[in-house]
Amino acid sequence: MSIVEKAAEKLRTQRPAEQPGSPQVEEVTEAPVAPTVERLQEQRHAVRRDAADGEVVHIDLDALVRAGLLPSEDEASGRLSNEVRRAKLPLLNNATGKSAKVPEFADRIVVTSAVPGEGKTFTAIHLAMSLAREPDFEVLLLDADIPKSDVTRTFGLEGYPGLMDILVDEMRRPTDVILRTDVPNLFLVPAGQRSSLAAELFGGRRMAQVLEELGASSKQRLLVFDSSPLLATPEARVLASQMGQVVVVVGAGHTRRYELKSALEGLGGSQYVGLILNKSRLPAIENPYYGYYGQYGNTQPTNRDRLLGR
């Protein structure tokens, strides 16, 4: 049995955990069951050399579909794709300045969660691929989950220099670690070498310079970071503090209300924060996948305020 089949079987047999006094997150938003495959093992994605563009990462779209990281043509996956389109609209409106209140650094989007196992890497990859289909943008998907580096392993980029390398070595140019893919408008940045000083590096002067250089492009570029969970590592909060938009993935039957509350309380008041519920067994007709996106500082009560007891 392949790792994808095992993951699917686990989802079919999994039952939401019950704890007295710890209400589930299903009250916040609703979504269909979505696979949480965070890496591909059935194929190493080859990096080939193109005479014009240098190294180009080949992405096997069929393998991503089999792994559940991209939708197939069937009805359920098509519905998932449509819901991701809905979820990305507020992000695009902020990035293009169309929202009523545009956050600073709206082109920087981090995908995270409160605790591990909620499907954030699945969401980050799916969201980045969907954003890359926008004709006016190019998308840079960065692996900032230094302990696990699932984006790096998913695309077979272990051993390539990445984000941590340019933070440690100021002689390296940020553009040197950007890898072009054969998916139009999609670029990748691996995690690079692990460091025990990730939190310090994310909060340092060099990080501000790197973010500026990575965002510079002749075409409007969106930076999408796959981060470690907010309650799991100290660097996750530091990274989130430098982002204009934060997407928090919530695992249905997995994330506890107090965990989500703690994660949200640690985010900045000027950021745009979105909640996406993953792996829910609720009926698909009830706004599947897309949850609630709200601007911090809104004078009206929001789902986030209700969640935090405000």
Residue 22 phi, psi dihedral angles, 5° rounding: -120, 80
- pLDDT of 283 strictly over 90: no
CATH of the domain at 163: 3.40.50.300
Residue-number span of the structural domain to which 288 is assigned: 48-307
Instruction: Indicate whether 98 belongs to any domain.
Output: yes
Residue 181 phi, psi dihedral angles, 5° rounding: -110, 170
Instruction: Indicate whether 6 belongs to any domain.
Output: no
Instruction: Indicate whether 27 belongs to any domain.
Output: no
| pLDDT computed for residue 83 by the predictor | 77
| pLDDT computed for residue 73 by the predictor | 65
Taking residues 59-86, report their average pLDDT.
Answer: 73
Residue type, 54: G
DSSP letter for 177, please.
Answer: G
**pTM higher than 0.75:** yes
Instruction: Indicate whether 39 belongs to any domain.
Output: no
* Comparison of pLDDT for 75 and 120, the residue scoring more: 120
Q: Classify residue 112 by burial, with Cβ atoms within 10 Å: 0-12, 13-18, 19+.
A: buried
Q: How far apart are CA 228 and CA 232, in angstroms?
A: 7
Instruction: Indicate whether 31 belongs to any domain.
Output: no
Contact in structure between 221 and 131 (CB atoms under 8 Å): no
- pLDDT of 70 strictly over 90: no
pLDDT in tens, 184-233: 999 999 999 999 999 999 999 999 999 999 998 878 999 999 999 999 99
| pLDDT computed for residue 303 by the predictor | 46
Instruction: Indicate whether 117 belongs to any domain.
Output: yes
Overall number of domains in the chain: 1
Instruction: Indicate whether 12 belongs to any domain.
Output: no
pLDDT in tens, 28-39: 333 333 333 334
pLDDT in tens, 247-264: 999 988 888 999 999 999
Instruction: Indicate whether 14 belongs to any domain.
Output: no
- pLDDT of 305 strictly over 60: no
| pLDDT computed for residue 85 by the predictor | 84
Q: How far apart are CA 119 and CA 39, in angstroms?
A: 11
| pLDDT computed for residue 48 by the predictor | 52
